[in-house]
Amino acid sequence: MNNVKKISPDLGSTTENEKQEAFEYLCQVSETVSCGACCGLYNISGLSKQSLEKLLRRRTEAFKQVPRTIDGIDEFRMQNEGWTPPERPFPDFHHCVFLGLVGESEQRVGCLLHPAASGNNGIDWRGLSYYGGMACRTYFCPGNKQLPQRYLKILKQTVNHWFLFGLVVTEFRLLTAFFEAIENKAGRPVTPDDFRKSSEATNRFRDLLEIKTNWPFRSVSSPGPCHYMFENGQYKRQPVQRKHPDIPVSAYETIFTELDSAFDSEQDLRMAEAVLDKLFSEIAEAVNHC
């Protein structure tokens, strides 16, 4: 069994929410934005937005037919674990098959065993999951504690799809480096209001976050957009790979590290810096002119 403490993409209606009053609640944000990263959401082979959405849709439909009994739910688990190919980016990180699509229009990821999920009639079935109900109810990821509230607010109000949200919300080092670079260019701290007032700032910020999914300088040995979000020393991120030792260290080294980058030449590294510089400048300009 994985030694990682687990999970909580619940539906935002139980007492654990109340414990989070001091935090920005990140697990369920809106009709289309939520997260399931700590339940292993992205830890599947061949990850893409389309493939994951398809998998979750299929599971959600299948779960509608499942009798809400211990045997019925256990049978579902056994049948559905086969739908997730075993070649995961992080083999010791469990991918929970009770992740599905939740909400009125089923447009965001969430837990099919949560008491508020459709068909459960208020009964909490999370005790039947791999890690057990306690872990499901009580885990909160580092992003909740390590990022300033204003950064989290900006994230919640700008990202409009669960796939990107869950991929980035646990990347606190990457997000901190992004925001610091934007603030350096802007010459001041940025606020949620800046982004509320400027659609240009919001759109460019989304473009910046999408780098997590489409980074052209990602190393071939990288596990892909999925990352291991627990701070327990397992699956540590590797330093930036350089084909030649004379390729310099960058001012954006932290960002390049968090994106699992590899550079064949100094020219590649400068191109990568230029991609980031452009986005940071555009966002800074937009927030300063709104």
Residues binding ligand SF4 (CB under 6 A): 6-9, 26-27, 35-39, 96, 98-99, 111, 113, 126, 129, 131, 136, 139-141, 143, 166, 169-170
Pairing outcome for strands 241-242 and 262-263: parallel
Rounded to the nearest whole angstrom, what is the least distance from the CB of residue 104 to ligand SF4 in the complex? 19
* Cβ–Cβ < 8 Å for 102, 11: yes
Cα–Cα separations (whole angstroms), residue 20 to 4, 118, 120: 21, 24, 24
Cα gap 19→40, rounded to integer Å = 23
- Closest to ligand SF4 by CB, 213 or 281: 213
Dihedral Cα 48, 52, 55, 57, nearest 10 deg: -130
CB of residue 284 vs ligand SF4: minimum separation in angstroms?
27
User: What does the alpha-carbon distance between residue 149 and residue 128 come to, in Å, rounded to a whole number?
Assistant: 34
Region class of 183: left (phi > 0), else alpha (psi between -120 and 50), else beta: alpha
Q: How far is the CB of 228 from ligand SF4 (least distance, A)?
A: 12
Contact 136, 10 (CB under 8 A): yes
Identify the residue whose tokens are 């086969």.
82
N residues, the chain: 290
Query: Smallest distance from the beta carbon of 1 to ligand SF4, in angstroms?
Result: 13
CB closer to ligand SF4 out of 140 and 183: 140
- Please, what is the minimum distance in Å from the beta carbon of residue 82 to ligand SF4? 17
6/204 with CB nearer ligand SF4: 6
Q: Which is nearer to ligand SF4, 15 or 221 (CB)?
A: 15
Q: Which is nearer to ligand SF4, 112 or 211 (CB)?
A: 112
- Shortest gap between Cβ of 207 and ligand SF4 (angstroms)? 22
Report the C-alpha gap between 56 and 78 in whole angstroms.
16
Neighbour count for residue 79 (Cβ, 10 Å): 13
No. of helices (H) and no. of strands (E), the chain: 12, 4
Least distance in angstroms from the C-beta of 41 to ligand SF4: 8
The answer to whether the CB of 62 falls within 8 A of the CB of 75 is no
Calpha distance 264→220 (Å, rounded)? 12
If the CB atoms of residues 27 and 226 are measured against ligand SF4, the closer one turns out to be 27
Q: Report the nearest approach of ligand SF4 to the CB of residue 57 (Å).
A: 15
Q: Which is nearer to ligand SF4, 66 or 290 (CB)?
A: 66
Nearer to ligand SF4, 98 or 179 (CB): 98
